[in-house]
Structure 1
């Protein structure tokens, strides 16, 4: 058992028994790595087994061309077009042969079966290849067997284990291999000599291998090696050959597809992703095996080996130190110096490696991409939450062990370094993921910082709350706190990934520049005069994507509550003084006062530009007043969190979140009071000047705003706290005149500039009864936040008044309204293929259906004209028949509008305009012919005039369709 210098029962919080070392430490990382490999094989085998695309209009790629995809165009335009036409694309794809994804799933199952066979038979093949012999063949008197039996008993191994000897190996080492339940320790011939000359060294080598068996390292290493080798042979190499061949053919003109050369970057990305996966697996597997070697060394010493057996010198080497540091990352065994350092200080085994977290981040992003082909996880958000559930235990357990092991030492674990490396891995993995079309770098890469902030917030919060939880006096309480900690980490990481795949990735590809189109969408909600609200409209457009991605999500809302309630509950139970809750509450009160000032300022500004009539106040005026109140609550909470984190030295993130939550709750209280008392505030009244206390009006405002900003405020406050802590730390370093060293970022809980001072005392449990004041305060805050959350859900589920409703959409939801047609392709060949695909996949069919409907209408008119006129010179029409014909024409025009836009910006405007006018006139025709005299057409003369006008307008709208179709046909046939 590893020695941990902590004054508390750490084992009650995180398991550290030898039998758990292989499972709880590096086991999840092995599992993540193998899951990435397995999921990647599905997509790779899908690609390899798919029929070779021919880019013809009858091929699925033709549907993309018909939708307006331009391989040489901007990736943003292609994203907007494909998302806008998602329904039409699905319908188009359903009518042509598609790739059967079950082929990749079945092929992956076969790959796993082959890997299992390799895992099962590898030990036997190894023995045949190396020609090893049983120990009894070289031990006639049984002395060696007795010695080995004694070592085996010291290691506590009672299950299937055999010892063999490799006569051809003269080194003084050993190796262990095997499969689950059947292991073999193979001793080299040189080690047998060492048994008599250096018994302590012999014991250390054998006990080291037995520790591998006890820690389940053989299972992880053998299974991962078998799966990786089979994956390389059966999936990776065929995939690289498939993609490389297509890239070669396109670059050298052997492929006349219109997707060239635009698709070249996508294929290059695919090749890069495959090569990165190779490097990732090698680096991660080497790092894991080095870690297991260190655990085996510690286990051997625990079983009685002498630490003096590790007194060996490392070979000097012939390469430069910088090169040696790089190549050391590929080694599966640590250096002797590193082994001795770990044995001298066991807390190093509990440290969180930067490389480990970086590789976990890269693996996580690649896993999201690979899971998209798995049934049930075919959306980015579903795969993101699944990945968060995979990654969070690795982050939480590593931080929990590191925090527990560093109690009372100078190596305090803050989580900053861990979170930054995890976030950097997520960012690099997103770059390598290759989902950016023909662009090597997204136009707005700074949005990737959202992933970095999410990972850092999760890591810092988990580390600091673990330190608080270690003060809990009871084992069950520490375990419960650890479980809640893990669940919150899952939710925070999931929220970050969810935001990225639902909103951030669209902003990164350039959607943030299309503010004018988003403005049009917002202004269409309330037709009103918007010139006076240009500043507020810009703020709304900026906040919409982020707020929308973090709302109406139960795990995110639960995490937002737990982020500040869990540390507060631990404080109420233990009375930890270093959390300084009273000072934090005072800061929260100051933030609430700031929020009240902001709400009053918003009322003052709005009162000065209040329209005269109620109808005008219910439009843009009321909408932006709601958003101004929302901005006041959000801004005051974020400023409070940043300020508290900047001036705090200990537990700065929980304190920042608590202060932000208090400020937010007070802000909502102020919002309710000011809205309910509107009219009694004089110059600060917004909607009315009549003084009444109307709580229902306050609830009308409170519900939608709480629904929109309640959970996002806390999550964004965590990011603000990170920024504030960084600024405060930098300012303190500069004021003390000390150079800023990045290494100190690992110790933000300690006062900068006091590195020579004794380490802070560990947080220890205080055996005293919880105070009624503390529990009462926690209860009040928890109930208030819970009631607000319930009110937000109740408001979202029921009907909201129009003047208080706040509609938010993510970029992924709103892109369908951001574009009417794709930009005209630059190359004539692409324009030709787009037009041909547009005609072949339904454009010509829709035109013919409209023409048939017009012909039916014309034939009916002709037949009616042959009737004998009435006395007044008019003829009687069959209203029911003509109403049905008008409805059919309108329906077919709507169907044509739902089809892909014309692949030409100028033609699309005329095409869509004509179709909308046909649909509109068809519905007017139905209204004209509807029975009854309670509508606008009360007399027969009114109906006759309206029907004649509909006929003229309909004919005028239908006439341009033939001209547009002729132009598209000329483009498709290449004629001029």
Structure 2
């Protein structure tokens, strides 16, 4: 630079700001009428370009000059220059390397189909939505890029002011701009759209950010919306992109669920936590409702873009389409709960205790997101698309495994129970969901507050009401069984269904009342639901353990005894499923009430008063008792689930799956479509893995007869894993093939275990028997695949002609 004084002053300013290395400075002599500066270069070697108009301000307006340079130095100190280069590079690579080829291929396929005029072709809706998805991805990528670039400017402004820049510089720049606030709604919408598209924030936005101390940690609407869309698309691509999910661990039954949940927690959950704990203590802390609804809206838009529920249709079916409200409500409920728990721990001084509280809260939020994404992909999209089952098939499924004399006869009550069973079983799909429920209720109990006390009181009242209902319905069950002489199993099914409804309604009613009286506090709602459930279950446990001792409440036994072997039979019928859904059901149901309560009462948060020594001791005792009871219930439900999956047929409670409902008669076209869907969404991959592992075992036997022991051990171990995945997948929708498939898997599993045993003991004869069992003649799996292929071929020729024509491999046809 020609001005030695200016250069020296800049070097001193860079040192004062804490820059490890003073950047180089260059002047643009052509920029005579602008006063800007830009940072170029790469990490460790940055160059600041100054306009000539800015250099002149060094003598005439030193505060403006200093503010501009401190802003640029903040970019260097924040190391966002390289992030900016990376962001712009990714955007350009996406446009050139991803978007153009994808649009070219999809457009060519769609044009070829339209020109061929093929009747009954179901691909145009799919390809059209693929092109819409591509356009949507362009908008999404651009909005994300622009938001990131705007955010870096805001943080640089805040850092510059913290380093001593004159905050009045930004105000003066704002005053120099032409006012743009005039005009009608159309002009306002235009300004909002332009603000979203800009990569540099307006001076109004920058001044507002400097005036609001919570601006850096606020959960912004656009941020939440983009996160919701990105999470949905990530989960969809990881789950359904062929080949991509092969690189993920096998224990991830749904490969996209946990990565999507982790992303939602790390971005949205952490943002809500920060916005609450760093909010002004004198003002009302954020409730998380606004951020959650924007996250849910983004989730819904992502679902519409990825098309997980429309299939080959143009429009969704009614009334199932109303289920699309769930992608908005459930993520909002998770962030609402996160914000409620964050408000409880906000007064803890920063340190290990607050970090542990944040880790616990966000871990539970991550589990809730995983539960929701897993259920929505496994069953929710199927329900929203129109599940092809009838009430009669649901009732037949409910009666499966029972003797003809013990089955429920068709009636309004039986139909309602059968259909609700379908929903409940799918919601409790994951065994660990009982721990999610316990955690949702436990975390708010770890910190005392007036709102939590409100939740406990309401929970006690609603729990008492549920207890009265339990006693009443138990008496009715006694009349049904012992007085009216009704069949035992149908009567017990109705009885346990009523118990489920009473306990769930008690928990939901407590959550609703707490949400109203606490002005939309999620922690109070969760505590109320948990307390009501604990009270109800304690009463039910007492009734169950004293069965036979009180004549009016006898259900299973007619005489009084202690610690009988069947005391847990009633709990085994519904407790795992109840605790699997109660936590999220109460939180989601209370969300609309919380929104109304927050809108109706926008008041300041009163300071939390201290507690005396006696109240503190009572609080600790009650908290320890509640935590112990909830953990005990979770452990009981979890172990009850494990017990019900074993034992004799008489002792075992059926563990129903949604696809078992397809037992009724269906036409050949629908049956073929079901078989194709079974293979397309995972069955084909399972069979491929199964046959690949068998081939891997065969390759471990060399031409000279010697055995590559490590390779064979690895192959047999992987084969057992493939069989486990096959067993966990949906049953084959053909009643005649599922028993053969189960038997073939069991025989192969046994042979694989014998293979490992023979390798461990170096028993050649046992190894030969195991290898022979792994390759039976005829091969039952090959027979099953051939039959399924024949069933699905007519459907593929009618509905999916292009796919059917190009698939000759038997596994790919599935």
TM-score of Structure 1 vs Structure 2, range by shorter chain: 0.7 to 0.9
Q: How much does 1:715 deviate?
A: 1.4
1:149-193: CA deviations, max 9, x gaps? 122123211137332333343421111233333322222232222
Q: How much does 1:449 deviate?
A: 2.4
> 2:461 aligned with 1:585, yes or no?
no
2:505 corresponding residue in structure 1: 635
**Whole-Å separation in 2 of the counterparts to 1:301 and 1:896:** 69
**Whole-Å separation in 2 of the counterparts to 1:900 and 1:530:** 36
Q: How much does 1:394 deviate?
A: 1.5
> 2:654 aligned with 1:807, yes or no?
yes
> 2:202 aligned with 1:331, yes or no?
no
1:83 corresponding residue in structure 2: none
- Aligned pairs (5 A) from 1:327-726: 327-372=194-239, 373-374=244-245, 375-376=247-248, 381-410=254-283, 412-435=285-308, 436-443=310-317, 444-472=320-348, 475-511=351-387, 514-526=390-402, 527=404, 528-531=406-409, 534-554=412-432, 556-571=433-448, 576=449, 578-581=450-453, 583-610=454-481, 617-649=487-519, 652-726=521-595
Q: Is the 8 A contact 2:375 2:429 kept in 1?
A: no
Distance 1:214 1:358, change over 3 A: same
Distance 1:427 1:753, change over 3 A: closer
Q: How much does 1:425 deviate?
A: 0.5
TM-score (norm 1): 0.64
In structure 2, which of residues 605, 623, 626 is the aligned counterpart of residue 760 of structure 1?
605
Q: How much does 1:279 deviate?
A: 0.2
1:713-754: CA deviations, max 9, x gaps? 111111122234346x3xxxxxxxxxxxxxx54xxxxxx456
Distance 1:531 1:893, change over 3 A: farther
**Whole-Å separation in 1 of the counterparts to 2:668 and 2:29:** 72
Q: How much does 1:588 deviate?
A: 2.0
2:719 corresponding residue in structure 1: none
Q: Is the 8 A contact 1:821 1:905 kept in 2?
A: no
**Whole-Å separation in 1 of the counterparts to 2:670 and 2:393:** 19
Q: Is the 8 A contact 1:347 1:406 kept in 2?
A: yes
Q: How much does 1:703 deviate?
A: 3.9
1:296 corresponding residue in structure 2: 156
**Whole-Å separation in 1 of the counterparts to 2:51 and 2:616:** 65
1:540-585: CA deviations, max 9, x gaps? 422433443335433x3333222222221122xxxx3x2352x433
1:887-921: CA deviations, max 9, x gaps? 99997998489524646999xxxxxxxxxxxxxxx
- Aligned pairs (5 A) from 1:774-789: 774-789=619-634
Q: How much does 1:452 deviate?
A: 2.1
**Whole-Å separation in 1 of the counterparts to 2:781 and 2:269:** 57
**Whole-Å separation in 2 of the counterparts to 1:891 and 1:488:** 44
Q: Secondary structure at the match of 1:165?
A: strand
Q: Is the 8 A contact 1:419 1:456 kept in 2?
A: yes
Q: How much does 1:822 deviate?
A: 4.0
Distance 1:344 1:472, change over 3 A: closer
Q: How much does 1:446 deviate?
A: 1.9
> 2:91 aligned with 1:265, yes or no?
no
In structure 1, which of residues 238, 245, 250 is the aligned counterpart of residue 101 of structure 2?
238
**Whole-Å separation in 1 of the counterparts to 2:314 and 2:253:** 21
2:752 corresponding residue in structure 1: none
2:84 corresponding residue in structure 1: 221
**Whole-Å separation in 2 of the counterparts to 1:162 and 1:516:** 78
Distance 1:516 1:659, change over 3 A: same
Q: Is the 8 A contact 2:292 2:335 kept in 1?
A: yes
1:52-77: CA deviations, max 9, x gaps? xxxxxxxxxxxxxxxxxxxxxxxxxx
- Aligned pairs (5 A) from 1:152-163: 152-159=14-21, 161-163=23-25
Q: How much does 1:460 deviate?
A: 1.3
2:26 corresponding residue in structure 1: 164
In structure 2, which of residues 617, 639, 655 is the aligned counterpart of residue 772 of structure 1?
617
Segment drifting more, 268-277 vs 436-445: 436-445
Distance 1:484 1:890, change over 3 A: closer
Q: Secondary structure at the match of 2:256?
A: helix
Q: Secondary structure at the match of 1:823?
A: helix
Distance 1:640 1:533, change over 3 A: farther
Distance 1:175 1:893, change over 3 A: closer
Q: Is the 8 A contact 1:470 1:763 kept in 2?
A: no
**Whole-Å separation in 2 of the counterparts to 1:524 and 1:894:** 27
2:704 corresponding residue in structure 1: none
Q: Secondary structure at the match of 2:568?
A: helix
Q: Is the 8 A contact 2:393 2:662 kept in 1?
A: no
**Whole-Å separation in 1 of the counterparts to 2:358 and 2:264:** 16
Larger gyration radius, structure 1 or structure 2: 1
Q: Secondary structure at the match of 1:472?
A: coil
TM-score (norm 2): 0.76
1:630-680: CA deviations, max 9, x gaps? 22222222222222222223x732122112112212222222222233333
Q: How much does 1:769 deviate?
A: 9.6
Distance 1:315 1:158, change over 3 A: same
Distance 1:273 1:601, change over 3 A: same
Q: How much does 1:221 deviate?
A: 1.4
**Whole-Å separation in 2 of the counterparts to 1:821 and 1:889:** 30
Q: How much does 1:815 deviate?
A: 6.0
- Aligned pairs (5 A) from 1:795-834: 795-798=640-643, 799=646, 806-811=653-658, 813-814=659-660, 817=663, 821-823=667-669
Q: How much does 1:362 deviate?
A: 0.7
> 2:154 aligned with 1:315, yes or no?
no
Q: Is the 8 A contact 1:503 1:546 kept in 2?
A: no
Q: Is the 8 A contact 2:289 2:595 kept in 1?
A: no
Q: Is the 8 A contact 1:626 1:804 kept in 2?
A: no
Distance 1:154 1:169, change over 3 A: same
Q: Is the 8 A contact 1:619 1:803 kept in 2?
A: no
1:905-949: CA deviations, max 9, x gaps? 99xxxxxxxxxxxxxxxxxxxxxxxxxxxxxxxxxxxxxxxxxxx
More relative contact order, 1 or 2 (CA 8 Å, 6+ apart): 1
Distance 1:800 1:589, change over 3 A: farther
Distance 1:301 1:407, change over 3 A: closer
2:761 corresponding residue in structure 1: none
